[in-house]
Amino acid sequence: MPFITGSANSIPDLRAALLNGLVANGFTLDGNVIYKGDVFFDVSIPTGEAYGENRMIRVLAGTGQAGGVLSGDAPFGPRLGFARDAPWTFPVTYNLHILTNPDEVYFKVRRDVNDYQFAALGQSNVPGLLGTGAWVTTSLGDTPYVKDYGGIKATGADVTNVNDGSYAPFWCESVGDGTLSNVLHHGFDGGDWAIPSDGLSTDIELQANRSCYPLISRSPNAWNAEANLLPIQPCVKRPSNKASIGADLAHARYLRIDNYNPEEIIDLTPDQWMVYPFRAKNTEERDGGKEIYHTGTFGWAIRYDGP
């Protein structure tokens, strides 16, 4: 389970670091398409966009490829990069977690001491899934017009502007142009790709936090200051107002980080977990809000196998 860390001087450098790490650890690269088994991802830098070149890495999932051309594309490709309101200052630091059984990849980019973004991809290991199980989640939406700020709360993103986003994996979010940042290939009921539904409604499409939000909102426990590691299980809508778990992330967990520092290691021998804020930690507004530049004390832990 490799852990790779380094620095990058540009978005193309970040893309190269991600792809090189994957190729060195069991993935195959053909053109822009990186794949392993029956999950395929086109990892590219979109060109010809209104707010400039080399701003974002797009991760577009598919069901196959031939000659470096993706097939069975998802409806959109979530992105990692800088929003229109906030160009990055390079160099930036990255941590790349490449995990197996099931294959899951977490690419964390630290813009400064307390400001992170991410791209994650993998394959669901939920029994009975009829699709490939390919999933992608990132901290930006699928267009170049997203803003730098977003919104987050225990039940999901408190989003009112279509160019906002939650900056959290498989969290509630708006369905407006530019904010779609999660996708999963499920195959239920003759379907194909699940995409987020409106985070302000009662829909639960690809929302993993709804099932555990009472624990997220109450953690850490006031009497011992500890936080529980909570499962990340994005759900897929089914007929008759039912839902099924579409993925159960094996190597990542939600948690509140009031009493943890970014990149602190939680030792639960034999497992270790590295702590990250979803974006930036803020203990003064721990429950988040809307149109903010932080994510309160909402965060996650990723399985760690580094030095």
- Map out the domains of the chain as residue ranges: 3-303
Cα four-point dihedral sign 27, 58, 135, 6:
positive
- Residue linked to tokens 């070149």: 53
> Under a CB-based contact definition with an 8 Å cutoff, are residues 256 and 243 in contact?
no
| pLDDT given for residue 13 in this prediction | 98
Chain centroid, CA 257 distance in Å: 17
Report pLDDT for 197.
66
Q: Could you tell me the pTM of the whole model?
A: 0.94
Return the sign of the alpha-carbon dihedral for residues 19, 304, 264, 255.
Answer: positive
pLDDT of residue 155: 67
CA angle 15, 20, 25 (to 5 degrees): 130
**Which two structure tokens, joined as six digits, stand for 290?**
């809307």
Per-residue pLDDT of the chain (307 residues; tens, 9 = 90+): 699 999 999 999 999 999 999 999 999 999 999 999 999 999 999 988 878 889 999 999 999 999 999 999 999 999 999 988 788 999 999 999 999 999 999 999 999 888 999 999 999 999 989 999 999 999 988 888 888 887 787 765 544 455 566 688 998 665 555 678 899 999 998 889 988 765 444 566 778 887 787 788 777 876 777 788 999 999 888 888 888 899 999 999 999 999 999 999 999 999 999 999 999 999 999 988 878 889 999 999 999 988 8
Q: What are phi and psi of 272, to 5 degrees?
A: -125, 150
- Which pLDDT value is given to residue 103? 97
What per-residue confidence (pLDDT) applies to 289? 81
Contact, 10 vs 54, CB < 8 A?
yes
The 3-state secondary structure of the chain, one letter per residue: CCEEEEEECCHHHHHHHHHHHHHCCCCEEECCEEEECCEEEEEECCCCCCCCCCCEEEEEEECEEECCEEECCCCCCCEEECCCCCCCCCCEEEEEEEECCCCEEEEEEEEECCEEEEEEEEECCCCCCCCCCEEEEECECCCCCCCCCEEEECCECCCCCCCCCCCCCCCCECCCCCCCCEEEECCHHHCCEECCCECCCCCCCCCCCHHHHHHHHHCCCCCCCCCCCEECCCEEEECCCEEEECCCCCCEEEEECCCCCCCCEEEECCEEEEEEECCCCCCCCCCCEEEECCCCCEEEEEECCCC
Closest CA to 243 of 200, 189, 192, 183: 189
- Chain-centre distance for alpha carbon 233: 13
Give the residue among 25, 24, 22 at the shortest CA–CA distance from 41. 22
Cα 233 to Cα 85: distance, rounded to the nearest angstrom:
32
Q: Can you tell me the distance from the alpha carbon of 243 to that of 92, in angstroms, rounded to the nearest whole number?
A: 39
Query: Is the distance from CB of 274 to CB of 265 less than 8 angstroms?
Result: yes
